[in-house]
Every structure is written in C-alpha cells, then in structure tokens.
C-alpha cells in the first residue's frame, strides 16, 4: 500500500468496488414477505451472512437482501452477489456460482472471456486467487443464497 508503488493485487482487490460496497452496501437488509431465507456462517472467523429473497412466478429472483456481519470481502461479496443474481433463476445462479468459484480457484487468467462477461461485477474478486485463505470470505454469501433457494432452507 505504499502510495508510490504500483497497485498490488490486494490493493487492486480492495479498491475495485470492495471497500465502497463493504462500507455502504446497496442490498443490505431483509426482504419483507420473503419466500426464501438462508444463512451461512464461517465458524473459523465468525463471519455470518443471512440472505432473504422473493421470487417471481417463473422462479427468478425478484428481490434479494442480505444481512452480513464480517470482513470487507465478505460484505462486498454478499452485496455484489445480490446485485448480480437479481432476475436469475436457480439454474442460472448455480452456473454463476460455479463460474465464480472457478475464477477464485484458478485465477482470472484461466477464466474465459465469455465467462468473465457472465461474472460481470464479480470479476472484482479475481485477485482473491492470490489469497487462498480469504476465498471463503467471498463464497460464504453464496452458501447462504443456496440455502435460501433450497426448499428446506438448508444448503
């Protein structure tokens, strides 16, 4: 973070949307009259994410909110996830999650251009590939979302 240095991967990661969204999430809160709700917790660090959502007649996410208590990566990941999955159905969300996890695991270089296009805002987390111990911070909201989409509220 020395100001004079070229931005490192962590600094780029935190600058790109993450700090802003962590400080003032756009999708924070709970959906009134939700038809799905789920939680994810990471006992190792204490981070928690609760997701609530409402679907339209075709099963697409019409409204989604999250209540997140965690690090900047976790809160921003929950918020950008909420924005990205709005309008998608469970199948499309599953594909998006797989693509997101593959990008964290393999890095941006190994992610195809069409895949990057589909990930959209989520590309902000590409540099987490360099920080293996932090990847679960970004995937925790997706566990909560899967639980919210499951009939029994469990992932």
Partner 1 sequence: MNAVLPVGPDLSALRADFPILGETVRGKKLVFLDSAASAQKPVQVIDAMSDAMRRQYANVHRGLHWMSERTSDVYEGVRDKVAAFLGAGAREEIVFTANSTAAINLVAHSFGSLLKPDQAVLISEMEHHANIIPWQLLRDRTGIALRVARVTDRGELDLDSLRAELADGKVGLVSVTHMSNVLGTVTPAAEIARMAHEAGARVMFDGSQAAVHQPVDVQALDADFYVFTGHKLYGPTGIGVLWARRELLEAMPPFLGGGDMIGTVRFEGSTWAEVPHKFEAGTPAILETIGLGAAIDYVQRIGMETIQAHERALTAHALQRLRAIEGLRVVGEAPERGGVISFALAGAHAHDIATLLDQNGIAVRAGTHCAEPLMRRLGLTSTARASFALYTTSEEVDVLADTLDRVRRFLA
Q: Where are the beta strands (DSSP E) in 16-138?
A: 36-42, 47-55, 61-69
Within residues 13-42, the interface with partner 1 by CB under 8 A covers 14, 19, 23
Task: Choose the stretch contacting partner 1; rule: CB under 8 A; options: 10-18, 82-90, 95-103, 140-148.
Answer: 10-18
88 to 23, 108, 133: CA distances (angstroms) = 26, 23, 29
Q: How many residues does the chain have?
A: 155
Determine, following the binding rule CB under 8 A, whether residue 4 of this chain makes contact with partner 1.
Answer: no
- % helix / strand / coil in the chain, to the nearest 5? 55, 15, 30
Residue of 73, 77, 80, 96 interacting with partner 1 (CB under 8 A): 73
Q: How far is the CB of 46 from partner 1 (least distance, A)?
A: 4
Determine, following the binding rule CB under 8 A, whether residue 67 of this chain makes contact with partner 1.
Answer: no
Report the run of H or E that residue 78 belongs to, with start and end. Answer: helix 72-85
Residue count, binding to partner 1 (CB under 8 A): 21
Binding site for partner 1 (CB under 8 A): 1-3, 8-11, 14, 19, 23, 44-46, 69-73, 131, 134, 137
């Amino acid at each position: 973070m020395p100001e004079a240095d070229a931005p490192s991967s962590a600094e780029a990661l935190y600058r790109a949307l993450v700090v802003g969204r962590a400080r003032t999430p756009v999708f924070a809160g709970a959906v009134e009259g939700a038809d799905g709700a789920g939680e994810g917790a990471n006992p190792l660090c204490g981070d928690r994410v609760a997701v609530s959502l409402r679907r339209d007649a075709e099963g697409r996410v019409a409204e989604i909110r999250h209540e997140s208590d965690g690090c900047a990566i976790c809160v921003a990941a929950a918020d950008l996830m909420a924005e990205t999955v709005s309008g998608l159905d469970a199948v499309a969300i599953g594909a998006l999650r797989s693509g997101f996890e593959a990008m964290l695991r393999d890095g941006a270089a190994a992610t195809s251009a069409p895949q990057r296009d589909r990930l959209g805002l989520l590309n902000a987390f590409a540099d987490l590939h360099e920080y293996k111990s932090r990847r679960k911070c970004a995937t925790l909201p997706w566990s909560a979302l899967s639980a919210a989409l499951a009939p029994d509220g469990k992932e």
